[in-house]
Amino acid sequence: SVLTTVFARFCMGPIMDVIGPRVVQSSLLLFSAVPLLFARLLQGAAGLATIRGLVGLVGATFVGCQFWTSLMFEQELAGTMNATAAGWGNLGGGLAQVVMVGIYNMNLSFLGCDEECAWRNAFYIPSFLLVVASFCVMKFGDDGPKEAMFLPPYEQTQLRGYGMANVASNLQVWYLMIQYAVCFGVELHVNNTAALYFFDRFGLDLTTAGIVASSFGLMNLFARSWGGLASDYFYSRFGMNGRKYCHIFLTCCEGATLVVFSRQSEFGASIFFLIVFSIFVQGAEGSTFGIVPYVDLSNTGAVCGFVGAGGNIGAVIWGSIFLVVPSFAEGYLYLGLIAFIVGLTGILIDVSDEEVLALKKLEQE
């Protein structure tokens, strides 16, 4: 599912640059409902792998959300708006785990299903919700604040390939991909391993460990928005350098607090530093997408897709590191050090707001 998400994010950005986010987002939501609908028919490992791969495509809707908010709001608010949309999206992933368990239990208790039938029937609900979301996006959404911002795809076929090549050759895009790999990629990996870490290190049962680890995801209520808001504030004071150094600070603090978290032997202190770490890592994600809308105005969708894919690629890389370390604690230590060092390389980011300011001046005239 991670691999298909990466592939879809790379592809969806350039397509959205051409035909706009509304049709693409609606189509992707509708398509993603199909494998969930057929999930109840799963038989064997091959079927599971196929369904997981197809469901992973819905991860590209993140690109649409970031592109959409970049279009709908002034660049001065890019950090706050992009971060809030993405943060609440991540929060939805955590809530889905809780809701799906609730649906499963309802199937057992009220519908008299056995365990096999209960989990299979549970997938009808998210499939239905995806169809509803697809309809709402298509019916009530706008591509942007201006009409006719995008041409039909047959009129811009060549531009799509050009935009993809232009973004792929932009060093600033690759710098931001690496930065996003050490914030969102790290968050994904910690999300996947935190419960097992508490189970292994402090002897908690898996249910309790899962509840404790969920405190990490709940920080998405505000932490990612906080990072975007900080990026916007420092931009208003110091221009693009403000956004850059805000991001460097948050990413380095993320790495430092993960190192401290990995060294804790007391349960209470471990929880405290997990929460502090989550605030910084999600804040760093928000500050990353405070910079993204300035990189290439004509190919913002493609930039969002590339940078977003960097986060998922990072999660895969960090997962492979944990296969060769002797313990979760040592893995978190190395991961924190990597994040800190990569955060310092944020000094290489050199994105200007001159194109944005010139465009605004032209519109005012």
Looking at residue 354, its pLDDT comes to: 78
Sign of CA dihedral 65, 27, 148, 7: positive
Q: Tens digits of per-residue pLDDT, 77-127? A: 888 988 988 888 877 776 776 788 788 888 888 777 788 788 888 888 899
Helix (H, G, I), strand (E, B) or coil at 323: coil
Looking at residue 315, its pLDDT comes to: 92
Question: How far apart are alpha carbons 130 and 354 in whole angstroms?
Answer: 39
Cβ distance 193 to 322 under 8 Å?
A: yes
Question: How far apart are alpha carbons 291 and 141 in whole angstroms?
Answer: 25
Question: How far apart are alpha carbons 12 and 332 in whole angstroms?
Answer: 32
- Tokens representing 310 are 């960097």
Q: Tens digits of per-residue pLDDT, 172-188? A: 999 999 999 999 999 99
Low-confidence ranges of the chain (pLDDT < 50): 148, 153-159
| Amino acid (one-letter) located at 53 | G
Domain 2-140+155-364 has CATH 1.20.1250.20: yes
Question: How far apart are alpha carbons 167 and 115 in whole angstroms?
Answer: 48
Question: How far apart are alpha carbons 2 and 24 in whole angstroms?
Answer: 20
Helix (H, G, I), strand (E, B) or coil at 325: coil
Q: Tens digits of per-residue pLDDT, 29-38? A: 999 999 888 8
Looking at residue 155, its pLDDT comes to: 46
Q: How many helices (H) and strands (E) does the chain have?
A: 17, 0
Looking at residue 340, its pLDDT comes to: 98
